[in-house]
Amino acid sequence: MKHPAYHLRTNKAVDRLSWISQVRDSLINERKASFYSLGGPFLEDLKLAHVAFPKLRLISIESNFQTYQRQKFHNFTTRLELNNATVDDYLIHNYEPSDQDFFWLDFTDLSLQRLNSFRSLVTRVPPCSLIRVTLRAEPDSTLKHVEKHLPSEQASKLAAEINEKFEKDFSTALSHDASKTPLCSRIDFARTVQMMVRRVSSEALASADTQFMHIGTTRYDDGCQMLSVTGMVINRANNQKLFKDYKAKGISFEPDVWSEPVEIKVPVLSILERHWLDKHLPKRDREGLGKVLLKKLKYQIDEGEKHSEDALRQYAKYYREYPNFARVNF
């Protein structure tokens, strides 16, 4: 029941605020939509949603009873419904679709059960509903800390055992053409988890009139690597108006294309540094933007010039979602 504060998890906070932006881009009628979240003890996601969309119906799903009790203490509006249930139990016994629903399955681990919860959800929500599922994108077992201490033959045997267990645990979710294993690079493993989400959604809706349209995937470090996959359940036919509406908002995508996960890795900056950089943003030309901002700042914020440029490029990309945290004395 550990719940690290968001001011210690800047990448997570950026991912959370980007979710609110995606909800805003997709929302049709605030009065006829519902926002679901695994809100945690402080209900941060739901508070943000309430500020952005005050007429939205809010629902929290929490399986841990003690965390549920803390949620009752932190309840901040009569529009919020608190539920002490697992996702699966809630979907079976309590879920009543609105005209449009927004779900964030913000899991902290990776398991077949989590993927099956997502599978169940995509079959139940109404068209134009937005779903985000967050999963751990780092294997439980690696050779990172022991490989150099083992003979090569023993290390190879252990690697084979780890791969075999992973393939067995996720045999019904792994992409048919998956060639990556838990011992591959972080980028490749994130892509493997993304493709598991794709297979699960595709199979779940194989005979349905709807499909899960991928909108975007992010990966970020939150103690371990996490992956957030966002998509919309849409009708297979008569969806041209939807694409047209998105295009009018400057958003374009191909329904059947699953682009690579985008990394969120924002630097830790002071408020003064942020204000200084914000004066020079946004810029249409993103080519060499990290170098431009570094020149404006006049000092490095990471190890070396290249890493500093990369960090500033990340800030420029997510500065609108970069959270503000401050200490307040009562």
Among residues 117, 57, 123, which one has the least CA distance to residue 87? 117
pLDDT of residue 327: 67
At 284 the pLDDT is 79
- Note the pLDDT of residue 242: 79
CA distance 139 to 110: 8
- φ, ψ for residue 78 (rounded to 5)? -75, -10
Residue with tokens 């933007």: 289
Sketch the domain layout of the chain as residue ranges: 6-264, 271-318
Q: Tell me, what's the pLDDT at 15?
A: 95
CB atoms inside a 10 Å sphere around CB 141: 14
Strand 100-106 and strand 33-37: the pairing is parallel
Give the pLDDT confidence score for residue 247 in this predicted structure. Answer: 75
CATH architecture of 6-264: 3-Layer(aba) Sandwich (3.40)
pLDDT of residue 291: 93
The SS3 assignment for 134 reads strand
User: In the sheet that 225-235 helps form, which strands lie side by side, from edge to edge?
Assistant: 80-84, 57-62, 33-37, 100-106, 129-136, 225-235, 210-221, 262-264
DSSP 8-state code for residue 290:
H
Residue 120, C-beta contacts closer than 8 angstroms, at least 6 positions apart: 88, 91, 204
Query: Which residue numbers in the chain have pLDDT < 70?
Result: 1-8, 141-149, 177-183, 252-255, 326-330
Report the b/e string of 102-133 with b at 16+ CB within 10 A. bbbbbbeebeeebbbbbbbbbeebebbbbbbb
The C-alpha atoms of residue 250 and residue 247 are separated, in whole angstroms, by: 5
Q: What is the pLDDT of residues 175-223, one digit of tens each?
A: 876 655 666 788 999 999 999 999 999 999 999 999 999 999 999 998 8
- Give the pLDDT confidence score for residue 238 in this predicted structure: 74
> For residue 162, what is the DSSP state?
H
pLDDT at 156: 79
Q: Helices in 1-135 by DSSP H: which ranges? A: 10-26, 44-52, 65-74, 87-93, 112-122
Residue 129 parent element (H or E): strand 129-136
